[in-house]
């Protein structure tokens, strides 16, 4: 059980929409992770999101849309983007596309870029919230910048000391952030591995998917080396944990002496993705000196899981 601060609020859909329309901040469930939402057309509201997260201002936000029609008012779709949106929306795919110059989005959302990241979430609560609010919603993951992403409503309450109202929607079914694809000039590049695999994207594109490299013109400014990090130090690719260490296993695990969680006893990467952040939160709270993590195969959803683990283990 997660212990909640004495002052906190879970709100219903109507209240959450009213808060957003009034320029306030409200966290809400999506199928990937919980988001910290603000009216994307209101610069003051969006500024509060950056401040609450302690997020660098150069790191742009994803704009959540009710449907493809709402996204069409904001960005230009090329053939790749059209195919990907048809295949994966509503769902855990974010498209970075050229922004329409007359769109209503506050400039601070894109941090000065001429592109905009848009997504139509698969979670019904999230789409209902956007529909009730009647505006696109800018939302990063609902965690202080650099820390673990929340996949349960209670983790959001704890992360912000009860100061952020939360529209609950159960535990997130995907458990990993959306896959981010930038489409431009007939090219499609993966900026962030996520809940939709590289192979699934490639099969819709009909060709292999390029990976954003270091010197690349398009990149996700938010992909810092250290990110998604628990307080406790992580050690990766550990088959047998040391005494006193917590262990995050995958598949068959050795008898552990310290606190133990298993991402998926059967070795299922989908189950592992869903459990990843919640189990890291739990092991982080045990007070163990470090968390050792079992090797995770680098195929399918393993690409995104290993990406998050590598950043969580990185030194400052
Ligand atoms: O699943 C998700 O995507 C969740 C839920 C809440 O929707 N949101 C999320 O947001 O993960 P955040 O802020 O934690 O990550 C957004 C990423 C950052 O790495 C940011 O740099 C990138 O998207 N991004 C946003 N706009 C961009 C743009 N115009 N060009 C390139 N990267 C962009
Ligand atoms: Mg995040």
pLDDT of residue 217: 46
DSSP 14: H
Half-sphere exposure at residue 81, Cβ-oriented, CA atoms within 13 angstroms: 25
Given the CA of residue 195, which atom of ligand 1 is nearest to it? 1
How many degrees, rounded to 5, is the angle at CA 9 between CA 8 and CA 15?
155
Question: Does the beta carbon of 306 sit less than 6 angstroms from any atom of ligand 1?
Answer: no
Q: How many CB atoms lie within 10 A of CB 140?
A: 23
Block residue for tokens 């509201």? 45
Paired tokens of 196: 């939709």
- Is any ligand 1 atom within 6 A of the Cβ of residue 110? yes
Per DSSP, 167 falls in state E
Residues 120 and 66 sit within 8 Å (Cβ to Cβ): yes
216 CA distance to ligand 1 middle (Å)? 17
Q: From the CB of 148, is ligand 1 less than 6 Å away? A: no
Distance CA 34, CA 143 (A): 9
Cα–Cα distance measured from residue 129 to residue 232, given in angstroms and rounded to the nearest whole number: 35
Taking phi over 0 as left and psi of -120 to 50 as alpha, with beta for the rest, 77 belongs to beta
Q: 3-state SS of 92-141?
A: CEEEEEEECCCCCCCHHHHCCCCEEEEECCCCHHHHHHHHHHCCCEECCE
pLDDT of res. 255: 79
Listed in sequence order, the residues at least 6 apart from 155 whose beta carbon sits closer than 8 Å to its beta carbon are: 2, 34, 143, 148, 278, 281
Quick check: 30 and 168 in contact, CB under 8 A? no
Query: The domain 10-211: what is its CATH number?
Result: 3.90.870.10
pTM of the model: 0.95
Q: Are 262 and 305 in contact (CB under 8 A)?
A: no
Q: Which ligand is in closest contact with the Cα of 92?
A: 1
- Over the chain (316 residues), the average pLDDT of each successive run of 10 is 88 98 98 98 98 93 98 98 98 98 95 94 98 98 96 97 97 97 93 97 94 60 78 95 94 87 98 98 96 97 97 88
Distances 24 to 49, 64, 99, 120 between C-alpha atoms, Å: 9, 16, 25, 21
pLDDT value for 225: 79
Domain boundaries, the chain: 10-211, 234-313
Residue 167: both structure tokens together: 């529209």
**254 Cα–ligand 2 center, Å:** 32
- CA 140 – ligand 2 centroid, Å: 6
The protein residue whose alpha carbon is closest to atom 17 in ligand 1 is 222
pLDDT tens per residue, range 131-183: 999 999 999 999 999 999 999 999 999 999 999 999 999 999 999 999 999 99
Locate the DSSP E strands across the chain: 26-28, 35-39, 62-64, 93-98, 115-119, 137-138, 166-167, 179-184, 187-192, 210-211, 233-235, 246-249, 260-262, 290-293
C-alpha–C-alpha distance, residues 201 and 138, integer Å: 24
Please give the C-alpha separations between residue 82 and each of 115, 183, 184, in angstroms, as whole numbers.
16, 10, 12
Top mutation candidate among 32, 94, 122, 142 for ligand 1, by most atoms within 8 Å of CB: 94
User: Which residue's alpha carbon is at the smallest distance from atom 3 of ligand 1?
Assistant: 178
Best mutation site among 60, 96, 146, 227 for ligand 1 pocket (most ligand atoms within 8 Å of CB): 60
């Amino acid at each position: 059980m997660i212990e909640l601060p004495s002052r906190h609020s879970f709100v219903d859909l109507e209240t959450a929409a009213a808060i957003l329309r009034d320029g306030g901040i409200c966290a809400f469930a999506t199928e990937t992770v919980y988001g910290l939402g603000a009216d994307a057309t209101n610069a003051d509201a969006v500024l509060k999101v950056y401040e609450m997260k302690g997020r660098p201002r150069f790191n742009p936000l994803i704009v959540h849309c009710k449907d493809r029609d709402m996204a069409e008012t904001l960005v230009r779709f090329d053939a790749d983007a059209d195919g990907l949106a048809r295949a994966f929306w509503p769902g855990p795919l974010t498209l970075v596309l050229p922004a329409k110059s007359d769109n209503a989005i506050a400039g601070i959302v894109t941090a000065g870029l001429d592109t905009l990241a848009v997504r139509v979430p698969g979670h019904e609560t999230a789409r209902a919230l956007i529909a009730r609010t009647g505006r696109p919603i800018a939302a990063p993951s609902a965690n202080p910048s650099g820390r673990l992403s929340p996949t349960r409503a209670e983790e959001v309450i704890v992360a912000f000391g009860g100061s952020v109202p939360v529209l609950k929607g159960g535990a997130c079914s995907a458990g990993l952030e959306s896959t981010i694809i930038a489409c431009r000039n007939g090219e499609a590049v993966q900026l962030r591995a996520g809940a939709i695999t590289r192979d699934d994207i490639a099969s819709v594109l009909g060709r292999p998917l390029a990976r954003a490299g270091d010197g690349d013109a398009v990149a996700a400014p938010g992909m810092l080396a250290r990110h998604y990090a628990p307080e406790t130090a992580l050690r990766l690719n550990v088959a047998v944990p040391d005494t006193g260490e917590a262990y995050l296993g995958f598949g068959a695990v050795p008898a552990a002496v310290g606190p133990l969680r298993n991402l998926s006893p059967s070795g299922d990467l989908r189950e592992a993705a869903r459990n990843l952040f919640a189990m890291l939160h739990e092991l982080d709270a045990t007070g163990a000196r470090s968390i050792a993590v079992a090797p995770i195969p680098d195929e399918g959803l393993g690409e995104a899981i290993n990406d998050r683990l590598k950043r969580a283990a990185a030194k400052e």
